[in-house]
Amino acid sequence: MDRLKQLCLITGTVLLMSLAVLCIIGAVMGADWSKWFFAASAGKWLWVCISLLIIAGMSQFSQIYTAQWPLAVYVGALLVLAAGVTNCPCTLYAGYIIGCVGLFGLFRFKPDKFDIAAIVVLLIATVLVFSFVSLPLQLKSVFFIPHVFACFLSYIFFARASFLAAKYLFGKNPLTEETAYRLVCKGFSFLTAGIAIGSIWAAFAWGDWWGWDPKETFSLAIWLVFAAFLHFRYLYKQKFLRLNSIWIIFGFILIILSVLLVNFAKIFAGLHSHSS
């Protein structure tokens, strides 16, 4: 790898981690602080940097667009759209399933038995919650199932990656770290989809794509931490195996804090807080 490419990846890693730290601070300080900071000149320039990084990163995955799976994604999207017109739950669920199959193929997703079981159980649980649990009107949305399903599926992949990363720290087997890295790649894809779907949902439900709610800000911080990890891992491969593993574990600790403190504690007040 030439030095210019190394410099670009190192710069990207530093910028992503810096923005992750700012998002964590924003989640702690509240939505007003985050809106103020990221509307200021420094915050706007950071967003320009992160946008350029995303565009540059997409070039690494150009081979995705040669896959044959987008058709399944399109069919799933059309079925979801048809369900919105006909109000037919069967069409809606069929669209989700077909769309997920297309996404799995699009990202070269090759599930093992555990992955298949987790996907089936999680999808059924999400559908049951949506169908039978009393939810606020805003949550009874076409976006509920794909948003919750994608986010929690990403958490499952990150949890498995974290377990393997901890296992590497004790066993020192490079294959364990390699497997953890591949699980992070899967989890990152679904976390990205979950955040994107949640943003669209917010625009329909509350008229705002992004409100700097503590959960939104913390989720963005998690995304940035793992994006920085993928930059670092792509640059150095398995040169820093211990650091790679610690980085994965740190990212999963942030997920745990996000769920326990933001969703179920009174520390962070926001739309995603479910504490009484």
Which amino acid type is present at position 205?
A
Please tell me the predicted confidence (pLDDT) of residue 64.
Answer: 41
CA–CA distance, 233 with 16 (Å, rounded to integer)? 14
Are the CB atoms for 106 and 69 separated by under 8 Å? yes
Are the CB atoms for 221 and 20 separated by under 8 Å? yes
CA–CA distance, 182 with 158 (Å, rounded to integer)? 10
Q: Which two tokens stand for residue 181?
A: 């890295």
For the chain (length 276 residues), average pLDDT per consecutive 10?
A: 70 83 86 82 70 58 48 74 72 76 68 78 82 71 82 92 95 92 88 85 78 84 91 88 96 91 60 49
Which amino acid type is present at position 233?
R
Please tell me the predicted confidence (pLDDT) of residue 271.
Answer: 53
Which amino acid type is present at position 25?
I
Distance of CA 12 to the CA centre of its chain: 18
Please tell me the predicted confidence (pLDDT) of residue 38.
Answer: 79
